[in-house]
């Protein structure tokens, strides 16, 4: 990843404050010009303090100058003190940057139910601001991760009305050694000049095929956050929510989102295989997604993939219990290109069984023969390592 992939007008940094051991645990995303911002937060009823604060801020004032992210402590289930801590983080960053307090959003990930080590964080904000740079994308990407095995940065460029527009995202994946619930954090920065409506529409659409189409273990975090910040520094003509420029923006945003989401899955704890579950022939997109999710969420299917066993019986059973309507007598199951079930009955020619589920990437295709909609969900296998990481840990 070339450092110069940062969109115009953004500066970022990542430092070590001492919340976590040995790794950078604080990141800052800053735009010299305030950004229009779209965001998606967890649907979990139990929401961490910084998310409650950010939702409030975005409602009041949608122009964002900076986002500070800490890893190591989720600031969740910390009551009134947790809210005060989140507010103070925003305030201290605003002071150091010389911007409005409402223009600074806060994100946290890490352990639930411990008060934030405010002295460490506040004590590091000066350093964090001083480190802001056009060349610190790797440091910022490192500052937001917890147990991830690798940093996640994706960038795309395109031309709109003669101007080059850059979209660059960083994400934190599903590491869960500490009880941080597989929190997914993602910050996407762009220098596009784009209307607020278009920005919101584009993020919602991109998320449907990426962040909302991945599952590692079915658990939804208290801190999940995806933010898209646009500072208009590219100087293009404002992109509205339709037309060719919007389509180009949507396409590139989809690519960035999907690639980051796939990286999150590939980095699933203990995972050895990447699984795409594609459901075709559904009556509605919702049905396709629901059926794909049921298959991707099945422990038995994940175990089968781990074992390299093309166990179509488990796949059929999980579709059957998904609640999605289909005619079992027309079901078709194709694994890594080999047909195992046709018209609801197992296909006797199993010559290629040995070639299926043996690579690092696995494709499960299920045709419900009920309509024309299709959807994919991305997941990973489950291994003993996952159990080990999540069980043999003491608070």
Got the DSSP string for 155-218?
EEEEEETTEEEEEEEEEE----SSSSTT--EEEEEE---B-HHHHHHHHHHHHHTTGGGB-SSS
Alpha carbons within 13 A on the beta-carbon side of 176: 27
Among residues 54, 90, 106, 111, which is the contact residue for its own copies, using CB under 8 A? 111
Burial of 45 (0-12, 13-18, 19+ CB in 10 A): exposed
Asked if residue 40 binds its own copies (CB under 8 A), the reply is no
Task: Output 154 or 306, the one with its CB closest to its own copies.
Answer: 306
CB of 181 to its own copies, least distance (A): 5
The backbone torsions φ and ψ at residue 393, rounded to the nearest 5 degrees and listed phi first, read: -145, 135
Q: Specify the stretch interacting with its own copies by CB under 8 A; choose among 62-70, 158-166, 282-290, 383-391.
A: 383-391
Task: Output 233 or 332, the one with its CB closest to its own copies.
Answer: 332
Give CA–CA dist 128/66, Å, rounded: 12
* 363 in Cβ contact with 279 (< 8 Å): no
Considering only residues 167 through 196, tell me which ones interact with its own copies, judged by CB under 8 A: 176, 179, 181-182
> Annotated catalytic, 168?
no
Residue in 78, 168, 183, 190 annotated catalytic:
183
Over the window 115 to 154, marking each residue x when it contacts its own copies by CB under 8 A and - when it does not, the resulting string is ----------------------------------------
**What contacts 270, CB < 8 A, 6 or more positions away?**
382, 383, 384, 385, 386, 387, 388, 389
Q: Specify the stretch interacting with its own copies by CB under 8 A; choose among 91-99, 144-152, 239-247, 313-321.
A: 313-321
Task: Output 114 or 164, the one with its CB closest to its own copies.
Answer: 114
Instruction: Pick the closest to residue 41 from 273, 192, 280, 212 (CA basis).
Output: 212
Q: Are strands 332-335 and 373-380 parallel, antiparallel or unpaired?
A: unpaired
Give CA–CA dist 263/254, Å, rounded: 14
Q: Count residues contacting its own copies (CB under 8 A)?
A: 69
Task: Output 97 or 295, the one with its CB closest to its own copies.
Answer: 295
Task: Output 123 or 218, the one with its CB closest to its own copies.
Answer: 218
Burial 329-368 (b: 16+ CB within 10 A, else e): eebbbbbbebbbbbeeeeeeeeeeeeebbeeeebbbbbbb
Among residues 353, 363, 369, 373, which is the contact residue for its own copies, using CB under 8 A? 353
Among residues 90, 306, 362, 375, which is the contact residue for its own copies, using CB under 8 A? 306
Considering only residues 217 through 276, tell me which ones interact with its own copies, judged by CB under 8 A: 217-222
Alpha carbons within 13 A on the beta-carbon side of 380: 22
How distant is the alpha carbon of residue 326 from its chain centre? 31
Over the window 320 to 349, marking each residue x when it contacts its own copies by CB under 8 A and - when it does not, the resulting string is xx--xxx-x--x---------x-xxxx---
CB of 237 to its own copies, least distance (A): 42
Contact residues toward its own copies (CB under 8 A) are 42-47, 74, 76-79, 111-114, 176, 179, 181-182, 217-222, 297-300, 303-304, 306-314, 316-321, 324-326, 328, 331, 341, 343-346, 353, 382-384, 386-388, 390-395
Give catalytic residue positions. 183
């Amino acid at each position: 990843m070339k450092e110069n992939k940062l969109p115009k007008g953004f500066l970022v940094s990542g430092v070590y404050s001492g919340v976590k051991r040995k790794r950078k645990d604080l990141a800052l995303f800053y735009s010299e010009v305030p950004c229009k911002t779209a965001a998606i937060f967890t649907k979990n009823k139990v929401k961490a303090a910084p998310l409650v604060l950010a939702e409030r801020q975005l409602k009041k004032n949608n122009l964002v100058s900076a986002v500070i992210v800490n890893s190591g402590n989720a600031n969740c289930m910390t009551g009134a003190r947790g809210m005060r801590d989140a507010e103070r983080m925003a305030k201290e960053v605003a002071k150091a940057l010389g911007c409005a307090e409402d223009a600074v959003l806060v994100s946290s990930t890490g352990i639930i139910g411990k008060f934030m080590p405010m002295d460490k964080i506040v004590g590091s904000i000066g350093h964090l601001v001083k480190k802001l740079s056009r060349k610190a994308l790797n440091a910022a990407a490192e500052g937001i991760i917890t147990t991830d095995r690798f940093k996640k940065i994706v960038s795309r460029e395109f031309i709109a009305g003669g101007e080059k527009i850059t979209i660059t995202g960083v994400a934190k994946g599903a590491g869960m050694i500490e009880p941080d619930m597989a929190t997914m954090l993602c910050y996407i920065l762009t220098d596009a000049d784009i209307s607020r409506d278009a920005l919101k529409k584009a993020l919602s659409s991109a998320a449907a095929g990426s962040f909302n189409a991945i599952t590692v273990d079915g658990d939804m975090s208290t801190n999940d956050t995806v933010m898209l910040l646009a500072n208009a520094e590219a100087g293009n003509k404002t992109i509205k929510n339709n037309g060719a420029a919007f389509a180009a923006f949507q396409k590139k945003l989809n690519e960035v989102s999907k690639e980051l989401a796939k990286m999150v899955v590939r980095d699933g704890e203990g995972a050895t295989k990447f699984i795409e579950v594609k459901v075709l022939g559904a009556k509605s997109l919702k049905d396709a997604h629901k059926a794909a999710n049921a298959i991707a969420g099945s422990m038995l299917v994940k175990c089968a993939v781990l074992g390299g066993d093309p166990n179509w019986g488990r796949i059929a059973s999980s579709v059957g219990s998904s609640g999605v309507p289909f005619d079992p007598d027309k079901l078709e199951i194709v694994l890594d290109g080999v047909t195992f079930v046709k018209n609801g009955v197992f296909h006797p020619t199993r010559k290629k069984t040995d070639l299926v589920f043996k690579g690092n990437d696995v494709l499960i295709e299920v045709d419900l023969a009920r309509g024309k909609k299709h959807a994919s969900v991305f997941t990973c296998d489950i291994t003993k390592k996952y159990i080990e990481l999540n069980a043999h840990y003491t608070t």
